[in-house]
Every structure is written in structure tokens, then in C-alpha cells.
Amino acid sequence: MGMKREKEKAHYLAIDIGASSGRCILGWIENGKIRIEELYRFENCLEETDGHLCWNLARLFHEVITGLQRCKQLNRIPLSIGIDTWGVDFVLLDQADKVLGNTIAYRDGRTQGMDAEVYKIIKEEELYQHNGIQKQLFNSIYQLMAVQKQEPDLLNNARSFLMIPEYLNFLLTGEKKNEYTNATTTQLVNAETQDWDDDLIARLGLPREIFGKLHMPKSSVGYLLPEIQKIVGFDAEVLLPATHDTGSAVLAVPANDDHSIYLSSGTWSLMGIERLIPDCTEKSRQHNFTNEGGYHYRYRYLKNIMGLWMMQSIRKEFKHAYSFTELYTLAGIGSYFSSVVDVNDSSFLAPKNMINAVQDYCEKTGQEKPETECELLYCVYNSLAKCYADTVAEIEEVTGKVYPRIHVVGGGCQDSFLNKLTAEYTGKEVYAGPVEATTLGNLVAQMLKNNEFADLVAARETIARSFNVKKVQV
């Protein structure tokens, strides 16, 4: 590696890959503030393969390499690299470290009925006592049950279980390291021990040896393989951020008090609070809260809400390519429309046509069907804001505390119409920003590893100072 670069000149690279796109963003400290620069952006999408919705990991890895090459072209060589992605999806590797089968995505229908199969072995109530994780039919536990039922040879031949960012790290470094925050989205990590749940894994008949030691954010994975160094033109250390993108986004919430609710807003909306002790009670389960792992063994006590996925899908289906400002104006015109949908209904997860799915839901529930673009937009916006308000009320009921503020972070914090509706429905102070929360959380973990900040409190104070956080005016 040669001589260590001086701290003030240290650059860090966050590779943040979401369900629809990925970005390579460089970060550094300058004059006591965090500065960021986007170096490369690429598309990600589901592909239909053998009748299933799959991820093209070869293409994703090619994009990661292209992003690293961009660093060299611009002479912005990072001290370290961190990769985060969505949760729950994984690969199984055989003895020769080759991927077994297709990398089937969480939106695929293969998990239909797999919850019932899991509950034959362990009752739903008891499962929640083990892990405190919100039931979602696409969680890894149900995906693994689908593999066991539909393609048992894959599990029989598996030697390693890696989640998507861990597999990309393996391709870069040759090292396999499982990371704690993402592992909790599998529903196979025990909330008390904060490690793989051996009892649960054994009862489900899964091979225990495929699940590696869990590592915390800030851990080193290793350095780039010689062949990768040759391709990209430099060497750097690969570190683990919170590899689950929500884990990284929550790290970047610009608040250090325990009086704020966070809303990580993007394709998915994650709404919750930070806790130091998990809540695996029956009351918490019935409210469908999750206790996902966070930085330094914090818990992200939150609800997974469908988010802007419905809006993104509807926008693509409109004949006219509206700008976001035009969408907000149209939604405002439709504010007379009163039908409301359950944004978390499974019919909205991966419909062939989102507009039809919304109309069908309204008809099925005996409500007026949205016909115009204005009605469709307001119906979804209104439903989402109502869901946020219901979630705030549930958080306050379960915790017995009142939270006066909501911090909206991530790409969705730019949606001024939704922010305003959220403030109106919840009656809370709503603050929007930073936009690049996931990237910042990824960078902050790397910066904490290099002692750029004394602790997470100092890092969050720096984020609040560095980026425009606006109070939403109602």
C-alpha cells in the first residue's frame, strides 16, 4: 500500500446499490465538513430468467469495477471502499466458490406459501421471540425454505451463504465475511445473542456450516485481489459499512436525541426509532415492528412500508413523462379523491401494471376507483401519508413515548408533496435531509474506522453541519 495518506487528504468510496440504480460516491473531510462527489452512476434492474425475477450479479460486479476504474481516471484513489445494498437476498456458493442456481430476487413469487411451511416447524409467535424481525414473505428464511422445497440440491451442495454486498466483497478481495446488520434481515439471527440462531437453523434443517462468523460495521474485509488491482489500477482496503442500506441510512440521521422518529424514504420507506434493547414481545409482533441490527449493536426498531415504489411504477406507466414537480401539481389537483389503499398489500409488490393494481384494490374494497392521473397520484400519496401517521401512532403506543419530530432522509426526502402531507397527518415537526443518507452512513462507518470522528455522536453532528436539513412548512 505504500505510505499512509495524510488524514485530511483521505478519500473514502461508498458504493450504494439499490433495487433500481447504484452510485459510486467519494467522500472526504474538508474544513470540518463532509464533502461528497458522485463519480459514477449505473442502472440496476430485475431480469426474468427461467420464469423467475433475478439479479444479474455479473453485470452488477462489472459496474462496481467500472466505478473503481473511474476513481483511477480522475486520480481520486480511495483509502477504503464500502458496499451496501438492499437486504434479504443472497447467493449460495459451492465447494469451488461458484454461485449455485440463479440469484432470485425478493420480488419473485417463489416464497408464496413458504411462511406456512416455516410455521409447521416453529410457530410464528415463537419465531418472533427468537429474532424480533417483522414478517415479510420475502425475508431470507422464507426464500431458504423455497430453496429447500423447490431445489434441495442447491442447499445440499452449498458451502457458503453470502448476502449480495458480501458476495461483491468476495469477488473484490477473495474474502468471505458475513455482516451483522444485513444478517438480521434473514430472520435467522437471535435478537438476544446477536449471532446466528443455531437452534432455529437446526430445526429448519439448514446446513449450519454455510453461515459464517458475523462481523460488525467498520470491520476490514481485506485488500483488492492482485487481478482486481491490475484492472482498476490501484489497491485499497475493503471495509464493511452497515451493508444493509437502511442500516447505513439510519447512521446518517442528523439527530442524537431519543425524541425523533426517522423515516428513510426511497423505493421502500423505513420508519422507526433507534433502541439499545430489542422488543420481541407479542404486542410488538402484532404491530409488525422489526428489530433489525444497527451500528454498534443498536437496534433499528422500525416498520418496512412499501414507499415510493408505487409512485415510481405509476410514473413509468403514464403515457407522458412528467417531471416530479408536475407530479406534485397533479397530485394536488386530485386532493378531492378519498379512496385509500393499504400500501403494504402484497398485490403492490410486483404487479404487471401498478395502475390496474390500485384500481382493482379500490374496487375490491368497495371504494371509488381512481380514473384520472390526478386521482391515482393523490390516492397513493394520501395512502402513504396515512400509513406513516398510523405507524407514528403505533410507535408511540408500543413505546409509551411521544416523539415530537420526524427526520426524513434519503432520496424521498426531496418529495415536497409527501413531506407536507406527512407533517399534516402526523402533526409532528418534519425535517427533510440529507438526501444521500445511505451513502453518508456508508462513508461515516469508513471514516469512524480511520478515526476521523471521536464517535457516532460527533459524526452525526458533522452530517447536520454539512448538509442542508430543512424544516417542512405546512
Q: Residue 207 has what pLDDT?
A: 97
In what helix (H) or strand (E) does residue 229 lie, and over which residues does it extend? helix 226-232
Q: Let me know: does 232 contact 61? Beta carbons within 8 Å.
A: no
**pLDDT reading at 65 higher than 50:** yes
What is the model's pLDDT at position 293? 95
User: Quick one: pLDDT band at residue 8, thresholds 50, 70, 90?
Assistant: very low
pLDDT of residue 89: 98
Is the pLDDT assigned to residue 465 strictly greater than 80? yes
Residue of 322, 326, 341 lying closest to 380 (CA atoms): 341
Structure-block grid coordinates of residue 90:
443472497
- CA distance between the termini of the chain: 53
pLDDT at position 208 is 98
Write out the E strands in 385-432.
405-409, 429-432
- Percent of the chain exceeding pLDDT 70 equals 98
Other CB atoms within 10 A of residue 71 CB: 22
How large is the average pLDDT for residues 140-169? 98
| Set of cell numbers at residue 209 | 456450516
H/E element, 108: none
Determine the average pLDDT of the residues in 257-286: 94
pLDDT band at 7 (very low <50, low <70, confident <90, very high): very low
Res. 87: pLDDT tops 60: yes
In this predicted structure, which of 8-12, 208-212, 280-284, 300-304 has the lowest mean pLDDT?
Answer: 8-12
**292 falls in which pLDDT band (50, 70, 90)?**
very high
% of the chain beyond a pLDDT of 90: 93
The pLDDT-based confidence of 256 (bands split at 50, 70, 90) is confident
From 84, 89, 197, 245, active-site residue: 245
Question: Cα separation of 81 and 98, whole Å?
Answer: 24
pLDDT at 6: 45
CA–CA gap between residue 269 and residue 225 (Å, rounded): 36
- Asked if residue 16 has pLDDT above 80, the reply is yes
pLDDT at 397: 96
Phi, psi of 168 (to 5 degrees): -65, -40
> What average pLDDT does this structure show over 261-287?
95
74 DSSP 8-state letter: T
Please give the average per-residue pLDDT across 400-427, as a whole number: 96
Q: Give catalytic status of residue 245 as yes or no.
A: yes
Distances (CA, A) of 311 to 20, 281, 331, 332, 390: 14, 34, 11, 14, 20
Give the pLDDT band (50/70/90) at residue 1.
very low
Are 247 and 182 within 8 A, CB to CB? yes
Confidence grade of residue 19 (pLDDT, cut at 50, 70, 90): confident
pLDDT at 438: 96
Mean pLDDT score across all residues of the chain: 95
Spatial contact of 170 and 162, defined as CB atoms under 8 Å apart: yes
Alpha helices in 113-259 (DSSP H): 114-121, 124-131, 140-150, 152-157, 164-173, 180-183, 198-203, 226-232, 245-251
Above 90 in pLDDT, residue 306? no
Q: Which residues contact 114 (CB under 8 A, 6 or more apart)?
A: 137, 142, 143, 145, 146, 149
Domains and CATH numbers, the chain: 7-239 (3.30.420.40), 255-433 (3.30.420.40)
Average pLDDT (228-239) is 98
Residue tagged 472526504 (cell numbers): 28
